[in-house]
A and B are shown apart, each in its own frame.
Chain A
């Protein structure tokens, strides 16, 4: 008998654990996330996340930038739905200066924010599919994210880091082409979404893989300050759009989908349902928007750049132009917190203004920074493959996590 086939060596007295370094760059984690896992076979015993690999010091940078130059920073938080971050920042400053925004502009903001939410949920849900081994849904639905990016492109010229809108409203009226693209999207997307849903929602393999995987209960979720779809998947109907309506969300009729067990499947289902609700909100908004309107911002000349021909011919416009470009706009003293329902939770901006040209202090409440700390608790006792699934279903975006 061969020596190496001799199998009568005794099992070790003490349990031997394997240390597994998952990340920082790992093809399955969709971003820069490092977790040092302690494994017992394929079961995770303990996990230690390390974050900060793409930290860019946004809060410090913001302390040196005039208010209108902070919008590009917010793009880079949750870069899957930048317009929501942009609008959230604009609304924070508008709250500070008590600006009145016309209804039409508020509805346009709602349209762009809900499109962004759909884009974000498309990414998250199709990636859950990919991580369970179902690549097909991803390849079909992902082109609809592309269509949303084309809408952004028509409105602001950029696709990912949009810098859409300005404090007080928008930089210009949306062009005809943008409305056209939105109409096309609204006509075509529902049946594509239905197709995606048919592929996964009642798919036996997908359900077996996701139900009871990576779950957290409502009590622990609140302990960890969960917000957004992850909290709603546990059964708590907290949605900033309903609790503290901003940008005229109170005018729209929509429901807050909730789950029951807070597992991967519930998170998937909540996002799926939210996309239908977003479509309904956009439809309601489009009905009430005057596309021929020439008003695209509120009456805040200190923040909205005047049209170029006015700058050349009108002294006031020239003064405002220079004040905005040089960042010398007067700002009231005060501190303000404004929250919006980001695609993955409550995105908050805590702004302290001392009346200077830049914020004295700006703190971002980044939803995934707060809920990602529960990750070790969620994956403990589960399999490694469930941990991958739990991470993608939590919609952790590295840009927002690391600020």
Chain B
């Protein structure tokens, strides 16, 4: 990783004759997390405060660009959450008929809101937030061809990033801590296994369709029981070699957005399928105001049932997204995911409001309700929290 970084910085400094001068942007953030209940697991700190920074350097020429986005977080409670990452560090060449990107990038695939099944290129930076939306930078060569019949993307992924997990002192962790230092791999090449992916995407009038295939180290680990150096029980992540076929489908008609994501995965135990499907309906100009309200409903299913490695083996998600459309761009998203086989549910809230051209506040929170020993959020049952962040953008 470090060698890549140095190489790219050297190349960047060598290139003269810029078309658009390089520019810095990005943000600093200070956040506090309030947990409503006392910590459940031994060693956990009660409350958490953190600072993070994500500057962004971008330099564009006529048909190419260079991007560098480092990230740093300092956490008051959890040493595992204090971490540095290179989110992006890459060259992009776009002469017209194709895009060629080389370096560390973030790529998103998917259409649904409640979870992102198909999205597999980047590893989840799980210490950031339990919703898994934050991702680690992924080294890659990406060749994207633009044709009348669609866009086809090829990915060569030469290095694997391990998932991050909260440490012993952190909240929002499993009862038995996860020891990432002992991570095991099915492939003898370990993190250097060459992973490959391809994705085809096409828009046909009101339908956006994408098909993808990934072959390589699965981003989602399973866990093996073990002990750490002091003999305490730990969970050891195990990364299998998998093959995953993905489908993304979206159909737009007036106020409705119909969405489907489905995967078929082999190599991680028995092969299985999982899907998320549903709709988003938008009420534009709610109650004769400038506000828009979106109603989201999705069904989440995994054919492994209770053996699924995700908490969403047969669940229903309902959410409301309010966009106030005021000067401050106030937004609020409230969602509940109800387990259809058990009583358990998870409530989540996300919101933001701009204070000035540079300052913004955000809230984020989760409630884990009626969790029982058979649900995967059981260990988080006392980790209901609300997080308030103050961000400075530049």
Q: Do A and B bind each other?
A: no
A residues bordering B, Cβ < 8 Å? none
B residues bordering A, Cβ < 8 Å? none
